Amino acid sequence: MTHVSRVSQAPKRLLFGPGPTQVDPSVYEAMAQNVVGHLDPYFFEVAEDVRRRLRAVFGTRNTMTLAVSGTGSAGMETAVSNFTQPGTKFAVFCAGYFADRICEMARRHGATVVRAEKPWGETFDGDEARDFIRRERPDVVAFIHAETSTGALQEPRAICEAARETGALVIADAVTSLGAIPVDVDECGIDIAYSCTQKGLSCPPGLAPVTISPRALERLEARQTPNQAWCLDLKLLREYFDGRKYHHTASSTLYYALQQALRVIDGEGLESRWQRHREVHRYFVERMQDMGLEMHVAEGRRIPNLNTVRVPEGVNDAQVRARLLEQHGIEIAGGFGPLAGKIFRIGVMGPLATRDNVDLFTEAFSAALR
Ligand SMILES: Cc1ncc(COP(=O)(O)O)c(C=O)c1O
């Protein structure tokens, strides 16, 4: 048998894109621990700790809070598939790519989808949100808290209030917001929120945190048809995580990673982390404006940890991104859909959200734009 004793070395990048984002070295260390079985008491000890810590970052007391195997899209499909049956009226606030994705998922699960539409980069104000929900009276309302394709942050409160008034459940996509900015699940009245691990939580991809309110759980109990997505069936997942009965082989390695990422967040303190992201975002915007660049989203509606900067006239965005990667080891992303070639998507989150890192980025970015 041939032994390959040295592991190959992935390049070291500075992940200034929308995700995956920079991982704390202690998270890599946590991942090097021994693999244990998915029914090992130690696995459940870690899983319980992760669930407790996730409640804190989501801002919820929901017992049904866990991390599903899979990326943010698995979180999205968990939210959609458990609360959608053929004929469910599913309303979506649409102003970007990920809103379109949730519409498509709901449609595939048999929902009748109704959309409130705005151009990519805008958000819905309180009156617009209330009017749409009162008019449509849907069973489920979904919105993207931080629309990563545009850089716009949707305020949840009016959506949640109107949904409560009309009896609809609210799904919030917190894929880009969780861990970097408050999601305030209980305070806002969000029923179902989902996320990923590779953005605001500064962890590698592979798990999808989800949280479900007691009101949504009642709806789930009353459901007559089985969830068509067996892997993401919350009733079965509850038997696994609470009943400790085999459902699938969850990755202990990813659970160790998430546990450590959440411990790092806890060590900093949630309020300080959110404050740091807001402050560094303001600094980032100042630096971009000093360079004569424009932000895509209006002030006050921007995602603090994911900036969208307009590509200047005559500049080829793909060339700039390639230069940044090749010459500086920096990853950023471009726009897509109607924003293809028009914006750069620049994540400043987790360990990279410091003034020094923004300075380092600005210098490289300015050279790459020349
Ligand atoms: C807002 C939003 N929702 C959902 C997803 C899907 O997540 P993933 O790519 O981890 O499956 C993303 C990914 O960027 C996202 O930004």
User: At 327, is the pLDDT very low, low, confident or very high (cuts 50, 70, 90)?
Assistant: very high
Ligand 1, atom 7, lies closest to the CA of: 72
Q: What is the pLDDT of residues 157-184, one digit of tens each?
A: 999 999 999 999 999 999 999 999 999 9
* Model confidence pLDDT, tens digit, residues 105-136: 999 999 999 999 999 999 999 999 999 999 99
User: Please, what are the domains in the chain?
Assistant: 27-265 (3.40.640.10), 269-369 (3.90.1150.10)
Q: Are 216 and 84 in contact (CB under 8 A)?
A: no
- CA dist 338 and 366 (Å) reads 25
Distance CA 73, CA 81 (A): 12
- Ligand 1 pocket test: pick from 148, 232, 307 the residue with the most ligand atoms within 8 Å of its Cβ: 148
Write out pLDDT tens, residues 311-322. Answer: 999 999 999 999
Closest to 221 measured CA to CA, from 60, 69, 83: 83
Nearest alpha carbon, ligand 1 atom 5: 72
Ligand 1 pocket member 99 (CB < 6 A): no
Count other C-beta atoms under 10 Å from residue 183's C-beta: 25
- Chain centre to alpha carbon of residue 51: 17
**E-assigned strand segments in the chain:** 14-15, 65-69, 89-94, 112-117, 140-144, 146-147, 152-153, 169-173, 192-194, 207-212, 306-310, 330-331, 333-334, 343-347
Over residues 247-298, the pLDDT tens digits come to 999 999 999 999 999 999 999 999 999 999 999 999 999 999 999 999 999 9
Distance of alpha carbon 106 from alpha carbon 77, whole angstroms: 8
Q: Which atom of ligand 1 is nearest to the CA of 196?
A: 10
Residue 261 tokens read as 């990422």
Atom of ligand 1 nearest to the CA of 146: 1
